[in-house]
Amino acid sequence: MTDRTPLDGVDLLLADLDGVVYTGPDAIPYAVESLNRAAAGRRVGYLTNNASRTAASVADHLTSLGLSVRPEDVVTSPQAAVRLLAGLVPAGALVLVVGGDGLVSEVVKAGFRVTRSADDLPAAVIQGFAPEIGWTDLAEASFALHTGIPWVATNTDWTIPVARGIAPGNGTLVAAVHNAVGRLPVVAGKPEVALYEEAVSRFGGSTPLFIGDRLDTDILGANRAGIDSVLVLTGIDHAKQVLAAEPNSRPTYILEDLRGLDLPYPSTEEHAAGEARLFAVGGAVVRLEGNRVSIDATGDGGIDLLRAGAAAVWGAGVAIYGLEVAPELYVEG
């Protein structure tokens, strides 16, 4: 039987942005052409936890890279956060905003008034990422939150990939405020399900597939929402994180880059070999014997070896720190 591609039967493709489509201003190799091919047979939508830009500016960026994207094709964490906010404070309330234009735009669009100062006695604080956020902004949030008002965060991603590398994300900034006030916010973005549910509701589709680059947000959120997922190794998480993934953060598919959306995805075959279990993907074979995970055959030494290694580690039924894993599996193909 011919192996199916990840896109077979999919009528709605949802893609994360940072680390999947682009890094900083630049497109990730093969992402644009792969997504354009995918769009020929299904609806494509874009989801982002990044709260620093408006949906319109994100759409413009994607279009400049060679995709055909309208603002309504982009679902942002500020949009989900404002919906949460509306359930916590009265319409038209004054809200202290810690964030950029993308967050301010959604707060104003929802009919709330914006302040940047705790001295104005806001009814709530809403916090999202923007590269210009500094100590003063976080301090204003802390001053306001000591009164016990609601606190909504767009997302809690610890890091964000940018052109120069990996930088602190909104989760790091939220943690700074948390340390000052001793409580946690209500969170709108991935891995919470609100963003996924909004996307499926907005775009329709009965068999969605989500693409992300982070296990702890993208893939965890998709699993919570009951959506099949692709982890693409062009952003934050790579071989080491894949092997160590908790059960609720494991993707349906693992791809080196988005070209793999169109390629047959090899099935994993498991065989007994005495007291050992063999996991074969393509030409790669990984052995699980007791608590030891070793390589019997590397195949082409690429992504199939990681897939087989993940199947063996995940199939062991214990956390990875209880296993002796061949170091070659941690190396990207």
What are the residue numbers of the active site? Answer: 16, 18
- Which residues pair with residue 13 across a beta bridge? 44, 209
Q: Residue 54 corresponds to which tokens in the numbers above?
A: 């408006």
74-87 b/e with 16+ CB inside 10 Å = b? bbbbbbbbbebbee
Q: 63 is written with which tokens?
A: 């279009």
Interatomic CA distance for residues 149 and 253, integer angstroms: 42
Residue closest to 73 by CA, chosen among 59, 53, 52, 60: 59
Residue 207 neighbours by CB distance under 10 Å: 12
> What are the beta bridge partners of residue 253?
230
- Measured CA to CA in angstroms, residue 294 lies from 45, 53, 149, 178, 310 at distances of 40, 46, 53, 43, 12
At position 105, the amino acid (one-letter code) is S
